Structure formats: structure tokens, C-alpha cells
């Protein structure tokens, strides 16, 4: 019987990646977390223990069912360690990081470039922000 007739969700096979076809990235995160947990044979309570109680089993359940849409980076980091999955993968699936191939030329790249210059003082950082604001203002004119 097909899945529509039975009302059951299709099961992932070993060849499939965790929920790669999901359109909603938040449900994709939840399914990815669940698949990673199940692959390790861990219960929700096992993951709670593995995170040192930083992520409760109830909260993880809410993440897996997409009831919580955007967990904090701190929670994602704890889960990445407990589930042995890449932290940047979790950050991307939670919507914090845009994949490199999806960025546009005018997309923000964060503050990394601005602060990569060595030993900027607080005054120098503020001056750079002001100068950038001026440049953006001029572009809009």
C-alpha cells in the first residue's frame, strides 16, 4: 500500500539523507535531529544526559516536531556534540547560516571582515561603522 492510503509517514532508508526534500527548514532541522538521534540508538532522555541537561528531553521533542522553530546557537552546539553532527550544519538548518552557494553578491557577510583587522580599538570599530553607514547613505541618494 502507498503512504497516502495508510496515512503513515514514509520511512527513511539508509541511502537517503535526513529529510533532504523538506521544504520547511525548521521541520528539516527537527527531522535531521531525530534521524541523528535514532541513528545513534539514543532516546530523548539519553540526549538530555549527553548534553549535561543543557537540552531537556521535552525541549528536544519540541525541536524534532518543529514546535520550536529557532533554538539558540548554545542549544545547537550542545546537540552537535551529543549527536556527533557538524555544528555548522545545525546552524544552517536552523536558519542562522545561509549556504555559501545561495548568497547573493549584496548579501551580508556578517561582521567578520570588519573585525578581522588586528587590534582595532572600540573607537576604531565605531569609526568603521559610521563610515559604512555614510557609504550606504550615499548609495541610496
68-125 pLDDT, tens digit per residue, is: 989 999 999 999 999 999 988 898 899 887 666 655 544 444 444 544 556 667 777 7
Q: Which of 1, 73, 72, 67 is nearest to 34 (CA)?
A: 67
Range of the domain at 70: 17-99
Classify residue 2: in a domain, yes or no.
Answer: no
Look at the chain and report how many structural domains it folds into: 2
Classify residue 42: in a domain, yes or no.
Answer: yes
Query: What integer pLDDT is reported at residue 122 of this predicted model?
Result: 75
Contact between residue 90 and residue 51 where contact means Cβ atoms under 8 Å apart: no
Query: What integer pLDDT is reported at residue 39 of this predicted model?
Result: 94
d(CA 100, CA 71): 22
d(CA 5, CA 137): 58
Q: Let me know whether 21 and 54 are in one domain.
A: yes
Amino acid at each position: 500500500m502507498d503512504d497516502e492510503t495508510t496515512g503513515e509517514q514514509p520511512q527513511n532508508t539508509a541511502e537517503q539523507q535526513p529529510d533532504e526534500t523538506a521544504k520547511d527548514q525548521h521541520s528539516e532541522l527537527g527531522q535531521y535531529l531525530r534521524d541523528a538521534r535514532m541513528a545513534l540508538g539514543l532516546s530523548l532522555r539519553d540526549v538530555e544526559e549527553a548534553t549535561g541537561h543543557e537540552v531537556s528531553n521535552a525541549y528536544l521533542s519540541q525541536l524534532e516536531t518543529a514546535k520550536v522553530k529557532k533554538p539558540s546557537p548554545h542549544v545547537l552546539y550542545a546537540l552537535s556534540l551529543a549527536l556527533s553532527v557538524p555544528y555548522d550544519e545545525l546552524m544552517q538548518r536552523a536558519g542562522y547560516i545561509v549556504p555559501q552557494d545561495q548568497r547573493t553578491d549584496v548579501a551580508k557577510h556578517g561582521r567578520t571582515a570588519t573585525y578581522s583587522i588586528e587590534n582595532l580599538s572600540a573607537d576604531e570599530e565605531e569609526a568603521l561603522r559610521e563610515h559604512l553607514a555614510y557609504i550606504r547613505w550615499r548609495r541610496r541618494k
